[in-house]
Amino acid sequence: MSEPSRRALGVLLAHAVTTQVVTFVLRPTMAYRAIELDVPSAWLGVLGASFAIAPLLLALPAGHAADRYGERRMAVTGALTLVAAGIAFLTLGHTVAGLVAAGILLGTGHLGCVIAQQALVANTTRSGGHDAAFGRYTFAASLGQAAGPVLISVFGGEQAIPDTGAIFLWSCGLAVLLVVLSALLARSPRPEAGDRDDGGGVRSLLRRPGLAYALITSCVVLAAVDITLVYLPALGTEQGLTAGTIGLLLTVRGLASMASRFFLGRLSQAAGRRRLLVTSTVAAAVAMLLTPLPMPLWLLLGVLLVLGFGLGVGQPLTMSWLAESAPPGLRGRAMSLRLVGNRTGQILLPGAAGLVAAGLGAGGVLMVTALGLGWAGVAARRLPADGGKHGGKHGGKL
């Protein structure tokens, strides 16, 4: 890898980390500000949904814009929107309506940055290198998600409610840094007119063999991650586990996911992309199925290690498959289509699992989710072994 490529990679990974730090410090802080305002608990769900509105409504247009105008412009636009979100939290965050407006801006800015990052990885990676590239990228994103909440502890972690105003102010500063990083992002090679395949747009993508299975696997895996974060603490309460023990289990799960992403390139070369995706998803399903069963803590830690490792593989591998399947000129839309599927799954699947497992408690929800995860893993066997013939002719050396 040449020195300019190392520099480009460093800027991209720093951009990914900073985007997630800003997002994952502002989202919980928004909830803390609502608690300060004595907002009814039912409204907390509305505030959370305000962040998800943008990906559902704007993801496909954002992907089209990234394809047409380039990833750097999309990243700058997203970062500026995050700055606007921070300012909105500072100036309008004393009302529920202001928090909702700021949350929508936050979701929109996060969307723009993420679409730009994923399209840039897809368009600047050599054919055959997407697994490792998306492994590095998702590792950086996970690092940012883990680091973001640390700012909350800095500004009053020992208090019931941190200094939300100070967090909003520092988040504005981080968003300004993100604007600078956006301007420093590398440009991806634009496909020549004869090589660009944007006829039919999203319809062209939907006709790609195996695309439905890639989208299903991606959204089920992400929904399983969310369900684990919500229902593992509930399971701990039911089984008498301490909050510290649950925190340890969640930490092990998160670290295992980061490890699987860090070594994803080597794992994919050793096992093959499709086999790795199927095996890891099925292994995660088995681990989730075992999680509610009574067992010693050391064994439960091992189960969560397998669960985290398996769940960490699904997102980057489906990104990689889509990147190599989509032709030049459609990769931004391919990533945005995946994002729409993920957000839809995050909204529908947890509620569906809860309804199906009604009366069975948190353990029942985890078991039902495990069955869905296992089905997604088996369905992933229908994916073509190769993402497609389009990866790499225009790829760079990121």
The pLDDT value recorded for residue 194 is 46
Cα separation, 137 vs 6, whole angstroms: 14
Cα separation, 223 vs 346, whole angstroms: 5
The pLDDT value recorded for residue 375 is 92
Of 70-84, 118-132, 168-182, the one with minimum mean pLDDT is 118-132
Task: Looking at the chain, list the stretches that DSSP marks H as alpha helix, in order from N- to C-terminal side.
Answer: 3-36, 41-69, 71-92, 96-123, 130-147, 150-154, 164-184, 202-206, 211-239, 243-262, 264-271, 273-290, 297-325, 331-356, 361-379
Structural domain spans, the chain? 6-187+207-381
6-187+207-381: CATH superfamily? MFS general substrate transporter like domains (1.20.1250.20)
- Which residues, 6+ apart, have CB-to-CB distance to 82 below 8 Å? 19, 22, 23, 105, 106, 109, 110, 113, 175, 178
**Mean pLDDT throughout 154-173?**
81
The pLDDT value recorded for residue 191 is 58
Which of helix, strand or coil describes residue 207? coil
CA angle 4, 16, 150 (to 5 degrees): 130
pTM: 0.83
Cα separation, 136 vs 130, whole angstroms: 10
DSSP type of residue 208: S
Burial class (CB in 10 A: 0-12, 13-18, 19+), 253: buried
Report whether 327 contacts 279 (CB < 8 A). Answer: no
What's the half-sphere exposure (Cβ side, CA atoms, 13 Å) at 156? 11
Reported as a pLDDT band with limits 50, 70 and 90, residue 248 is confident
The pLDDT value recorded for residue 152 is 76
Cα separation, 301 vs 132, whole angstroms: 27
| pLDDT tens-digit series, residues 26-71 | 988 888 888 888 877 667 667 777 887 877 888 889 988 888 888 9
Higher pLDDT, 142 or 330: 142
Name the token pair of 355: 């309804």
The pLDDT value recorded for residue 389 is 47
| pLDDT tens-digit series, residues 110-138 | 999 999 999 999 888 887 788 999 999 99
| pLDDT tens-digit series, residues 258-310 | 999 999 999 988 888 889 999 999 999 999 999 999 899 999 999 999 999 99
Phi, psi of 200, rounded to the nearest 5 degrees:
85, -15
The pLDDT value recorded for residue 396 is 46
The pLDDT value recorded for residue 160 is 67
**Mean pLDDT throughout 86-101?**
93
**Mean pLDDT throughout 177-181?**
97
Cα separation, 398 vs 396, whole angstroms: 6
Reported as a pLDDT band with limits 50, 70 and 90, residue 397 is very low
Higher pLDDT, 81 or 352: 81
| pLDDT tens-digit series, residues 190-231 | 655 444 554 556 677 767 767 778 888 888 888 888 888 778
pLDDT above 90: percentage of residues in the chain: 36
Q: For the chain, how many residues are written? A: 398
| pLDDT tens-digit series, residues 340-390 | 888 887 777 777 766 766 677 788 888 888 998 999 888 888 777 655 544
